[in-house]
A and B are shown apart, each in its own frame.
Chain A
Amino acid sequence: MSLIQEIDFGTPKSKSETMVTLTIDGKSVTVPEGTSIMRAAMESGTQIPKLCATDMVDAFGSCRLCLVEIEGRAGTPASCTTPVTPGLVVHTQSERLKTLRKGVMELYISDHPLDCLTCAANGDCELQDMAGAVGLRDVRYGYQGENHVFAKANGCDNDNWMPKDESNPYFTYDPSKCIVCSRCVRACEEVQGTFALTIAGRGFDSRVSPGMSESFLGSECVSCGACVQACPTATLTEKSVIEIGQPEHSVVTTCAYCGVGCAFKAEMRGEEVVRMVPWKDGKANRGHSCVKGRFAWGYTTHKERVLKPMIRERIEDPWREVSWDEAFGFAAAKFKGIQQKYGRDAVGGITSSRCTNEETYLVQKLIRGGFGNNNVDTCARVCHSPTGYGLSQTFGTSAGTQDFDSVEETDVVVIIGANPASAHPVFASRLKKRLRQGARLIVIDPRRTEMVESAHVKALHLPLMPGTNVAVLTALAHVIVTEGLVNETFVRERCDWNEFEDWATFVADPGNSPEATALQTGVDPKVLREAARIYATGGNGAIYYGLGVTEHSQGSTTVIAIANLAMATGNIGRNGVGVNPLRGQNNVQGSCDMGSFPHELPGYRHIAGDAVREQFEAMWNVKLNKEPGLRIPNMFDAAIEGTFMGLYVQGEDILQSDPNTKHVVAALSAMECVIVHDLFLNETANYAHVFLPGSTFLEKDGTFTNAERRIQLVRKVMSPRNGYADWEVTILLAKAMGFEMHYNHPSEIMDEIAALTPTFAGVSYARLEELGSVQWPCNEKASEGTPVMHIGGFVRGKGKFIITEYVATDERTGPRYPLLLTTGRILSQYNVGAQTRRTENVVWHAEDRLEIHPHDAEQRGVRDGDWVRLASRAGETTLRAEITDRVAPGVVYTTFHHPDTQANVITTDFSDWATNCPEYKVTAVQISRSNGPTDWQKAYDEQARHSRRILPAEAAE
């Protein structure tokens, strides 16, 4: 193994299809029009010296090191800013160029410390490389003059010198090493789109400055790491590199945070991760990252990880550390006992959207084959199950329609109920890049999120009241139909015309007009009409949506309404358009694909279908139950009733993440055996009888499938600290229950998946190694996968328009609960925070806050930072208030990253009509001032502390 060295071509790739031929150093070179001479040279194997150029940002031409000579042209132009033209004859090395470059380097080095041996970038410094490349042997100027290097000059303080900025927890800024190439500034602008950095001052006074000479932590910096990656010296360096040293080998793997699925190089020394660097060839992220994937991996070696299996008879008992064998034996005996006593259907399990496809597949196989029922569900139940229902009804398949590259050809972006800047940051950066090129943006969201207004982003905002998505989308359809903006050619060709006509008649009803529904939705009809016109007529229109769409009683209806809009305007089936669900967790897509839902086998095929079920029976050598099983909320209800008594939960904290915590507590407490398989003693484990230690994404092989249906390899870079990868744990648990599964490696599991699932037929580890990644469907018809779906026709045949009547949720405000609470995420934290809370990311978000409008706050005498009591019909909790007009009057907002806040004590058990996806996004609440935690929070905390006690293992005799 060695360190993967990616080639830096100096300037970005040109997309032109016109080719240009020129001569560089006597060699004929053919490249696309618009390519720089620097890139053309690199592509033909000649590296022209450079410092300010890197292919992640546009050429800048400031360092003057990449000069070349061109026959017939005067002077020595910079090769980074000079495009190729046909017949050009270029020389990259001559006496004149050598002298010039040496002079440039001599000046650079005259204001740079010579501490190379003890410098963190030693071995990875472009300045050092260039000094070597130009043959710099002497610096004639000395260091007595004006410089930025030394704190003292001639016994006095040196005003040019600046101390290190170590405020960011993950990297340092050492201004004394800066060569002002501005690569960091341009990376922040062009790649990340945050514009947090600038060059302050002029000439010799030029300095890289976060914000207005602030610290990195105090500035707008979102710690994505693009500047650190761009820096050619040790000026911006990962603290882990400063501490450990340079890595010696690297392995490409896939991030285990959100559904974007960024590819990273895990740069290692032995089994220690030195840093995670985004991989340029990653097709989801194209070399970019966010603060979570780039830096927040410290949880993988956190001291709170539980590494030994534990059991207990009662949840009131302390945990007892035992051997793996004893834990498996205990768990199997409990589950078998429950099935004997209460029946075969009294146990079940939950697959993890954080684990690999292979692991998820095995858990559902264990449940269907080993437990003999279909009581399997996954956390997608509580996030994107309505997407599955809505898109399969209308288009014929439940998946998003595009790849992320598609956004580069989008003219109108519609974001509904999603905040990619926080929850899918790398996609947000790619989207913002497109917006800066002129694409227009419409945001439908109760809050004024970062996507509504930020640097170079200004969206047309439809600030609707939570719970009125269907009314707003139907009103958009009303405008499109009544103003004659329907793409009739598309609809006639691709969709069922009769169904379209029924739908068009319905939406055209005056009761569905923006004016008629404004009272409920709170959206200005003029703005709504403008949005409809822009989406229907503004060129390629793409809809991106998140949990603000799905987590409602009408979640599935909203997804259908989105699909209707895309079909009516012909925005489906090519690049730049489509319907794109932004998936929350790394493998939500995969866990759904792998048959995690109780009614369907892998590949979304209903369990009642004899032909498909028989294929699985033959392969697994077991008879399967043909009745659908319980969904997560149904499991809780059945537990309280006494018909569901045992649950195996892999990699999911249902107690913290599911709504109506008190109801979940009651359900878990009623069960006789709960098996938690996780990295940490999570909140669910407080009610568990068996704890099986889990492994991190760094400790196992497998695949994740991201929001674009892209299957990517996860590669093991270190041994599992707990002893086993999660897929091995499931196999051993199954064996203890008498259900044998034999696999030597996850690739064999994927082979079985491919054999049983038509959309995965062409997928294998060998294929993934070869292509880097592949988007399903991948089979005979599409051997390299399918970036864009429904080209030329819908998967189901004709696209199906379905009427979407608005039905207000029964969760309503009233005198006792006059405000609406909605929930969301923040950039630095992830989901229930189990991972990110165990990293330095807490510096950005140490607690959940309640956002409240100044008007509502003043009425209640609440000041910024005050403790407030947040009460709903389901329960109450306390947290601190943040007064902001990001939320409208009448609406409050919080995140759910911290267990001590217990935001889900407040949420109710209302759910989507079709899938039982909980209605997290609308809860009627009241706010009042408070002195501190509620009795419930105190009792919960006491129970949690009591429940987490561990007895040390008995010493061997």
Chain B
Amino acid sequence: MSSSPDKLVYMANQIGKFFQSQGQDRAVQGISEHIWKFWDPRMRKQIFAHLDAGGTGLDPYVLDALQKLKQQA
């Protein structure tokens, strides 16, 4: 688990799992806010690049949250 897209996908999904039980709207909001608040720009850039490349491995809410965050950026 050291190559970075894999690790970031794993981290994003971990965040997603916490918010999952709060329902789609709150989960998507919670996930995107968390990543915006705590991830350094280079990490966000990498995960956005991964998203653009299809976002393989990202859980559904996480995918939505990242898309939302990318639009805001």
A contact residues vs B (CB 8 Å cutoff): 345, 374-375, 506, 553, 556-557, 598-599, 606, 608, 627-631, 634, 637-638, 640-641, 643, 663, 803, 805, 807, 909, 913-916
A779 to B34, CA, bound (A): 31
Which residues from A are CB-within-8-Å of B40? 345, 374-375, 598, 627-631, 634, 638
CB distance from A844 to the nearest CB of B (A): 38
Given contacts A634-B43, A803-B22, A807-B17, contact A909 B1 (CB under 8 A): yes
The A contact surface, by secondary structure, is loop
A913 contacts B37, C-beta separation under 8 Å: no
B15 contacts A663, C-beta separation under 8 Å: no
A557 contacts B42, C-beta separation under 8 Å: no
B2 contacts A663, C-beta separation under 8 Å: yes
A579 to B4, CA, bound (A): 37
B15 contacts A805, C-beta separation under 8 Å: no
- Is B68 part of the contact surface with A, judged by Cβ < 8 Å? no
Among residues of A, the one whose C-beta sits closest to the C-beta of B13 is A913
Contact of B2 among A375, A640, A916 (CB under 8 A): A640
B34 contacts A641, C-beta separation under 8 Å: no
Which residues from B are CB-within-8-Å of A663? 2
CB distance from A705 to the nearest CB of B (A): 23
Contact of A506 among B4, B21, B37, B42 (CB under 8 A): B21
Interface string of B13-48 (1 = CB under 8 A from A): 011011011100000000000100111111100000
B2 contacts A637, C-beta separation under 8 Å: yes
A599 to B42, CA, bound (A): 14
Which residues from A are CB-within-8-Å of B39? 628
A914 contacts B18, C-beta separation under 8 Å: yes
CB distance from A808 to the nearest CB of B (A): 10
Contact of A805 among B7, B18, B34, B41 (CB under 8 A): B18
CB distance from A693 to the nearest CB of B (A): 31
A914 to B15, CA, bound (A): 6
Among residues of A, the one whose C-beta sits closest to the C-beta of B16 is A913
Among residues of B, the one whose C-beta sits closest to the C-beta of A644 is B42
B contact residues vs A (CB 8 Å cutoff): 1-2, 4, 7, 11, 14-15, 17-18, 20-22, 34, 37-43
A913 contacts B17, C-beta separation under 8 Å: yes
Which residues from A are CB-within-8-Å of B43? 630, 634
Contact of A606 among B7, B17, B22, B37 (CB under 8 A): B37
CB distance from B65 to the nearest CB of A (A): 14
Which residues from B are CB-within-8-Å of A557? 18
A36 to B1, CA, bound (A): 67
A614 to B46, CA, bound (A): 29
Given contacts A663-B2, A913-B11, contact A628 B22 (CB under 8 A): no
Which residues from A are CB-within-8-Å of B7? 637
A526 to B55, CA, bound (A): 46
* Pairs across A and B, CB under 8 Å, 12 listed: A598-B40, A599-B38, A627-B40, A628-B37, A629-B40, A634-B40, A637-B7, A641-B4, A803-B21, A805-B18, A913-B11, A913-B17
A766 to B55, CA, bound (A): 57
A914 contacts B42, C-beta separation under 8 Å: no
CB distance from A633 to the nearest CB of B (A): 9
Among residues of B, the one whose C-beta sits closest to the C-beta of A607 is B37
Which residues from B are CB-within-8-Å of A913? 11, 14-15, 17-18
Most chain B CB neighbours (cut-off 10 Å) among A629, A637, A641: A637
**Given A345-B40, A557-B18, A914-B38, 18 other A-B residues pairs in contact with their CB atoms under 8 A:** A374-B40, A553-B14, A556-B18, A598-B40, A599-B37, A608-B37, A628-B40, A629-B40, A630-B43, A634-B40, A637-B4, A640-B2, A643-B42, A803-B22, A805-B18, A805-B20, A909-B1, A914-B18
Which residues from A are CB-within-8-Å of B41? 345, 627
A915 to B18, CA, bound (A): 12
A237 to B16, CA, bound (A): 59
Contact of B38 among A345, A628, A640 (CB under 8 A): A628
Which residues from B are CB-within-8-Å of A915? 38
A638 contacts B17, C-beta separation under 8 Å: no
A375 to B4, CA, bound (A): 18
Which residues from A are CB-within-8-Å of B21? 506, 803, 805
A630 to B38, CA, bound (A): 9
Which residues from B are CB-within-8-Å of A803? 21-22
Which residues from A are CB-within-8-Å of B20? 805
Which residues from B are CB-within-8-Å of A643? 42
A345 contacts B37, C-beta separation under 8 Å: no
A512 to B14, CA, bound (A): 21
Closest 6 CB pairs of A and B: A913-B14, A805-B21, A630-B40, A803-B21, A627-B41, A807-B17
A803 to B17, CA, bound (A): 12
Most chain A CB neighbours (cut-off 10 Å) among B2, B7, B21, B38: B38
A557 to B14, CA, bound (A): 12
A345 contacts B42, C-beta separation under 8 Å: yes
CB distance from B27 to the nearest CB of A (A): 11
CB distance from A805 to the nearest CB of B (A): 5
Among residues of A, the one whose C-beta sits closest to the C-beta of B40 is A630
A909 to B3, CA, bound (A): 13
Which residues from B are CB-within-8-Å of A375? 40
